[in-house]
């Protein structure tokens, strides 16, 4: 909701008078403004986008955004110099609504799901990927939900590589964390996570450290048991780890409003106007309709269960073949029994650097075996989804190679450069905004530890 202007805020942007603050994010500040005709608009003043090449690129992208049907989005009006002018939606964000009043249920939740799915269908049909769909970017206007903030939206381009560098923890799709291309399917994952938050008041992958959230997104299934049954199949399909298993937004929208598609209660059962078969569905990879996605997930689960059963049968046969008999059984170790209700939790992620660890980290470390030694300056630079980074200590600078990312730490290695750098292993773990750093020499003769901060 509008807040008073602060001392450093502008009082005028182009032809618009600045009236109040609406919010602030990583890309800029959003203001409530009034135009010459007295109509209120929302203006985002961008940070750092001043060079001509960037302005031309933003102008092209926003022209694509302006093609999005305005019925369930905040329409972009213009891009002028360093600010984006869009329609003002008079209502709280979904984030604020749930935090202040609790979860949404019943027909209100159904309307929210349909409205936001329809918005994504319109966005994707215009050839745009939103890339930061989340509760804070859904405004609950007097005429229904509106999707806003296309500040980091991008025009769909099969030749571009959209990585995990942008997005919000908890709503970033697995492929973004793996450094793969961002497509309309990534928006569908974020939509499902948003609906879980709306229905439960909880983040679908927890609210712990960023590293833990990313671990769960990559390796765990979220708890959707509190989502109403009539929405749960669609939510589960959109939360598939493989983007090819998620439905497209248009099929999701149809499933939500069709009694045959989702058995949604309380909606009209009358005939629906047919969709135009020749409307293009821009996407960079084939994405299956909802029914196919659900069937593929079920088939995959059956295949996994069959494989596990075969492996178990083989292990049982092997155990009986070598199981000792007679009195010796009292002194022979037997296999330990494990509870079937407590499956093992994966602790290692077979991927590149997580976004939480990305950036340039600097600080000083000390030799743990010599308290009198002078501290050493460290610079560690990592990029999300990559398997290599750079490391500098004193007069040495070289590449470090990603080894593994466990539940609470990241492991990197670098080899010795004779006469310049000693080889070693780096273990780093996030402690809030600080990186706890430890370097152990390859020969185990020394260990340097300290705290790094992102510069």
Whether the Cβ atoms of residue 174 and residue 185 lie closer than 8 Å to each other: no
152 Cβ contact partners less than 8 Å away, ≥ 6 residues apart: 27, 131, 132, 166
Contact yes or no for 22/2 (Cβ under 8 A): yes
Residue 157 binned pLDDT confidence (cut-offs 50, 70, 90):
very low
Cα separation, 349 vs 35, in Å, equals 51
pLDDT at 170 over 70: yes
If pLDDT is split at 50, 70 and 90, which confidence band does 78 have? Answer: confident
**How far apart are alpha carbons 189 and 173 in whole angstroms?**
6
Contact between 340 and 167 under an 8 Å Cβ cutoff? The reply is no
Domains of the chain: 1-88 (3.30.200.20), 92-311 (1.10.510.10), 355-454 (2.40.128)
pLDDT band at 369 (very low <50, low <70, confident <90, very high): confident
The answer, yes or no, to whether residue 258 has pLDDT greater than 70, is yes
CA 202 to centroid of chain Cα atoms: 16
| pLDDT more than 70, % of the chain | 67
- Give pLDDT, residue 351: 54
pLDDT at 253 (0 to 100): 92
Both tokens of residue 171?
A: 């709503």
With bands split at pLDDT 50, 70 and 90, how would you rate the model's confidence at 302? Answer: low
Token look-up 């999300």 returns 384
Q: Averaging pLDDT over each range in 217-226, 234-243, 389-398, which range is the top one?
A: 234-243
Only one residue has tokens 């299934």, namely: 221
Residue 38 has pLDDT above 70, yes or no: yes
- Average of per-residue pLDDT values in the chain: 75
Q: Which of 96, 300, 265, 282 is nearest to 187 (CA)?
A: 282
Structure confidence at residue 260 (pLDDT)? 52
- pLDDT at 215 > cutoff 70: yes
Which range has the top average pLDDT, 141-155, 171-185, 373-387, 401-415?
171-185
What is the pLDDT averaged over residues 364-382? 86
**What is the rounded distance in angstroms from the CA atom of residue 314 to the CA atom of residue 317?**
5
Residues with active-site annotation = 132
The H-or-E segment that residue 192 falls in is: helix 184-200
- Which ranges in 387-439 belong to alpha helices (H)? none
Instruction: Provide the residue count of the chain.
Output: 455
CA distance 438 to 428: 6
Distance between CA atoms of 132 and 24, rounded to whole angstroms?
Answer: 15
Residue 118 binned pLDDT confidence (cut-offs 50, 70, 90): very high
């Amino acid at each position: 909701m509008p807040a008073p202007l602060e001392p450093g805020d502008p009082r005028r942007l182009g032809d618009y008078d600045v009236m109040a603050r609406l919010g602030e994010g990583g890309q800029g500040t959003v203001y409530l403004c009034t135009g010459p005709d007295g109509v209120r608009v929302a203006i985002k003043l961008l940070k750092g986008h001043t060079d001509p090449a960037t302005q031309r690129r933003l102008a092209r992208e926003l022209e694509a955004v302006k093609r999005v049907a305005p019925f369930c989005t905040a329409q972009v009006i213009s891009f002028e110099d360093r600010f984006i002018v869009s329609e003002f939606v008079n209502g709280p964000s979904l984030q604020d609504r749930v935090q202040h009043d609790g979860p949404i249920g019943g027909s209100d939740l159904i309307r929210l799901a349909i409205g936001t799915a329809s918005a994504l269908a319109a966005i994707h049909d215009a050839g745009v990927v939103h890339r930061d769909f989340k509760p804070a970017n859904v405004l609950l206007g007097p005429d229904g939900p509106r999707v806003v903030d296309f500040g980091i939206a991008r025009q769909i381009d099969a030749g571009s590589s959209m990585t995990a560098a942008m997005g919000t923890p908890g709503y970033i799709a697995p492929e973004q964390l793996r450094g793969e291309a961002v497509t309309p399917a990534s928006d569908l994952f974020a939509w499902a996570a948003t609906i879980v938050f709306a229905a439960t008041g909880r983040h679908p992958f927890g609210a712990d450290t960023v590293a833990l959230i990313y671990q769960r997104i990559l390796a765990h299934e979220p708890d959707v048991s509190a989502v109403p049954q009539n929405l749960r199949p669609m939510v589960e399909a959109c939360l598939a780890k493989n983007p090819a298993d998620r439905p497209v937004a248009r099929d999701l929208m149809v499933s939500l409003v069709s009694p045959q598609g989702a058995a949604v209660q309380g909606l009209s059962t009358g005939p629906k106007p047919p969709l135009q078969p020749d409307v293009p569905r821009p996407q960079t990879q084939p994405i299956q309709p909802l029914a196919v996605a659900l069937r593929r997930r079920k088939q995959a689960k059956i295949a996994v269960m069959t494989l596990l059963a075969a492996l178990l049968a083989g292990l049982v046969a092997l155990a009986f073949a070598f199981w000792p008999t007679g009195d010796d059984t009292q002194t022979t170790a037997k296999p330990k029994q494990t509870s079937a209700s407590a499956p093992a939790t994966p602790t290692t992620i077979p991927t590149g650097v997580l976004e939480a660890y990305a950036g340039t980290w600097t600080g000083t470390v000390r030799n743990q075996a010599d308290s009198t030694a002078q501290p050493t300056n460290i610079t560690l630079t990592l990029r999300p989804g990559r398997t290599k980074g750079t490391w500098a200590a004193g007069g040495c600078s070289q590449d470090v190679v990603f080894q593994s990312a466990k539940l609470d730490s990241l492991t990197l290695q670098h080899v010795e450069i004779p006469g310049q750098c000693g080889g070693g292993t780096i273990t780093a773990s996030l402690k809030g905004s600080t990186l706890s750093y430890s370097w152990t020499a390859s020969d185990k003769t020394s260990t340097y530890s300290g705290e790094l901060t992102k510069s």
